[in-house]
């Protein structure tokens, strides 16, 4: 009997060790979130925090919040960014719960985006990221509530984080990264594991200083946002209930909660459906619950320029500093910035993007029609140039209606150049899906 028990124990120990080894090689960590929670649990105090999606974790700069709010309060402030990639509203609520359990914050900025209130609490990989690094009972409450009690074994095993496209190159790269001391010591700023080099400080992650790889104008295929455009009828009551829970929790604890929506580029907004319906919904919601709400797309006295975005809807470093300053100034003094109540009221002019359509074989030769998007009635002309290194493959010349007969060539790229009617240069663009035949994925919220 003793021998049998001993053998069972040995087999169990060997299984656990083998499982840990397998996880070490094939589990794909979310690097920035791993460091975020490591630092979160080691703060002396947190006065100000933000929860939300990747728009908030790339757009909220703790250093700027410290400066603006510290000056307003007349004391040293410690801010921390607790937003994570694709954080659902259930995740935002439970992260806020963990924050209030361990610290005594004054302010919680709670990001709300139309894609968030339209999404269910499905057990997606991104939803598990929080559970992976959160500690204590809050982790299990979050998992029970969001994914069901049957998901605990999945949480403990880590199966949800296994890559579906495991290959030898990934396994070796993954293991090599995890063996470095910088990984074990949670060192921000070291390029030792995928997006660790984007981690800046106290949860803020922002990998690029300049947006759009140095190009002035965003260029995307028409209809790129159709899959998650504004749908007020499709709002999920369960998702909205987590905003209400967060409001009630903060009010009970004496924490001021401020709802906000991060800015997006004009091209992104133009393809988002009836965005004004979302504006109306959130303003009504905020009034009914007696909380402040700021949609930073509607700030009229300061404009978030395309150069401040690293892609269509995520801020670059300079843009994050701008976003944080405006948000904190509004908290201190609501009259510090003026707002309009719809996108049309912003009274903007000039080019804000390029859309294109394709006709022909998706994987072969096709005709592409480019169209300048602008806020005014001015006429603009386009030139499309396909190049492989320094060799020009195709040059359309300067056209009012720019059409290119496009043949995919590995390693080539298509650059667009915009001019006004008088021939003055406006800016350039890079439609990435037509460069090296690699589709440009818009980062999930």
Give Dmax over CA atoms of the chain in angstroms.
94
Give the total number of structural domains in the chain: 2
CA 381/CA 11 separation, integer angstroms: 72
| Of residues 194 and 107, more confidently modeled | 107
Q: Per the domain annotation, does 87 fall within a domain?
A: yes
Q: Per the domain annotation, does 445 fall within a domain?
A: no
Q: Does pLDDT of 377 surpass 60?
A: yes
Q: Per the domain annotation, does 223 fall within a domain?
A: no
Using an 8 Å Cβ cutoff, are 367 and 404 in contact? yes
Task: Mark whether 180 and 319 lie in a shared domain.
Answer: yes
Question: Domain span at residue 419?
Answer: 351-434
Task: Mark whether 193 and 241 lie in a shared domain.
Answer: yes
Element (H, E) at 139: helix 136-147
- List, for residues 341-350, the tens digit of each pLDDT value: 888 888 777 8
| Amino acid 116: pLDDT | 84
CA 322/CA 65 separation, integer angstroms: 10
Q: Does pLDDT of 289 surpass 90?
A: yes
Mean pLDDT of 259-271: 91
Q: Per the domain annotation, does 4 fall within a domain?
A: no
Q: Does pLDDT of 376 surpass 60?
A: yes
Q: What does the mean pLDDT of the chain come to?
A: 82
Task: Mark whether 127 and 50 lie in a shared domain.
Answer: yes
Q: Does pLDDT of 120 surpass 60?
A: no
CA 285/CA 352 separation, integer angstroms: 30
Task: Mark whether 154 and 273 lie in a shared domain.
Answer: yes
CA distances from 389 to 360, 403, 411, 414 (A): 26, 22, 8, 11
Domain boundary (344, 374, 396) is at 344
Q: Does pLDDT of 22 surpass 50?
A: yes
| Amino acid 5: pLDDT | 79
Task: Mark whether 100 and 66 lie in a shared domain.
Answer: yes
Confidence band (pLDDT; 50, 70, 90) for 196?
very low
Q: Per the domain annotation, does 29 fall within a domain?
A: yes
Task: Mark whether 421 and 364 lie in a shared domain.
Answer: yes
Q: Does pLDDT of 3 surpass 80?
A: no
Q: Per the domain annotation, does 367 fall within a domain?
A: yes
Domain boundary (286, 315, 344) is at 344
Buried-state track 1-21, b at ≥16 Cβ within 10 A, e below 16 = eeeeeeeeeeeeeeeeeeeee
Task: Mark whether 257 and 388 lie in a shared domain.
Answer: no
What values do phi and psi take at 230, rounded to 5? -55, 130
| Of residues 335 and 122, more confidently modeled | 335
Task: Mark whether 164 and 305 lie in a shared domain.
Answer: yes
**Domain CATH code at residue 339:** 3.40.50.1110
Confidence band (pLDDT; 50, 70, 90) for 4?
confident
Q: Per the domain annotation, does 59 fall within a domain?
A: yes
**Domain CATH code at residue 416:** 2.60.40
Task: Mark whether 84 and 155 lie in a shared domain.
Answer: yes
Q: Write the secondary structure of 62-113 as one string of H (helix), E (strand) and C (coil).
A: HHHHHHHHHHHHCCCCCEEECCCCCCCHHHHHHHHHHHHHHCCCCEEEEECC
Mean pLDDT of 197-222: 75
Q: Per the domain annotation, does 263 fall within a domain?
A: yes
Task: Mark whether 179 and 292 lie in a shared domain.
Answer: yes
The pTM for the full model equals 0.85
Task: Mark whether 184 and 329 lie in a shared domain.
Answer: yes
| Amino acid 123: pLDDT | 46
Mean pLDDT of 270-283: 90
- List, for residues 33-83, the tens digit of each pLDDT value: 888 899 999 999 999 999 999 899 889 999 999 999 999 999 999 999 999
Confidence band (pLDDT; 50, 70, 90) for 152?
low
Domain boundary (323, 344, 365) is at 344
Q: Does pLDDT of 212 surpass 60?
A: no
Task: Mark whether 297 and 380 lie in a shared domain.
Answer: no
| Amino acid 215: pLDDT | 78
CA 370/CA 365 separation, integer angstroms: 16
| Amino acid 195: pLDDT | 45
pLDDT over 70 percentage in the chain: 83
């Amino acid at each position: 009997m003793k021998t049998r028990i001993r053998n069972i124990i040995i087999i169990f120990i060997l299984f656990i060790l083998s499982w840990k080894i397998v996880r070490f090689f094939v589990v794909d960590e979310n690097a920035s979130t791993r460091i975020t929670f490591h630092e979160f649990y080691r703060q002396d105090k947190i006065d100000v925090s933000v929860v939300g999606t990747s728009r908030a974790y790339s757009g909220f700069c703790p250093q700027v919040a410290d400066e603006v709010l510290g000056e307003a309060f007349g004391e040293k402030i410690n801010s921390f960014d607790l937003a994570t990639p694709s954080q659902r509203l259930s995740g935002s609520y439970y992260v806020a719960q963990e924050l209030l359990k361990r610290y005594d914050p004054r302010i919680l900025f709670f990001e709300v985006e139309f894609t968030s209130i339209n999404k269910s609490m499905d057990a997606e990989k991104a939803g598990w990221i929080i559970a992976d690094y959160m500690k204590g009972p809050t982790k299990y409450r979050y998992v029970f509530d969001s994914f069901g009690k049957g998901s605990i074994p999945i949480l403990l095993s880590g199966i949800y984080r296994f890559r579906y496209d495991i290959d030898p190159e990934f396994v070796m790269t993954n293991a090599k990264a995890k063996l470095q001391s910088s990984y074990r010591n949670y060192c921000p700023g070291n390029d030792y594991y995928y997006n660790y080099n984007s981690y800046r400080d106290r949860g803020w992650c922002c990998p690029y200083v300049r947006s759009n790889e140095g190009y002035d104008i965003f260029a995307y295929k028409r209809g790129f946002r159709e899959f998650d455009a504004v749908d007020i009828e499709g709002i999920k009551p369960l998702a909205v209930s987590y905003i209400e829970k967060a409001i009630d929790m903060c009010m009970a604890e004496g924490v001021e909660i401020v709802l906000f929506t991060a800015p997006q580029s004009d091209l992104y907004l133009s393809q988002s459906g009836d965005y004004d319906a979302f504006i109306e919904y959130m303003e009504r919601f905020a009034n009914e619950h007696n909380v402040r709400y700021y949609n930073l797309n509607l700030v009229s006295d300061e404009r978030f320029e395309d150069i401040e975005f690293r892609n269509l809807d995520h801020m670059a470093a300079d843009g994050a500093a701008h976003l944080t300053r405006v948000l904190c100034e509004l908290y201190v003094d609501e009259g510090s910035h003026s707002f309009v109540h719809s996108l049309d009221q912003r009274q903007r002019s000039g080019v804000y993007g390029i859309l294109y359509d394709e006709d022909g074989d998706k994987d072969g030769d096709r005709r592409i029609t480019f169209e300048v998007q602008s806020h005014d009635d001015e006429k603009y002309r386009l030139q499309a140039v396909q190049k492989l290194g320094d060799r020009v493959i195709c040059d359309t010349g300067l056209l009012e209606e720019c059409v290119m007969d496009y043949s995919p060539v590995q390693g080539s790229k298509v650059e667009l150049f915009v001019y006004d009617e008088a021939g003055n240069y406006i800016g350039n663009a890079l439609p990435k899906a037509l460069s090296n035949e690699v589709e440009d994925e818009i980062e999930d919220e």
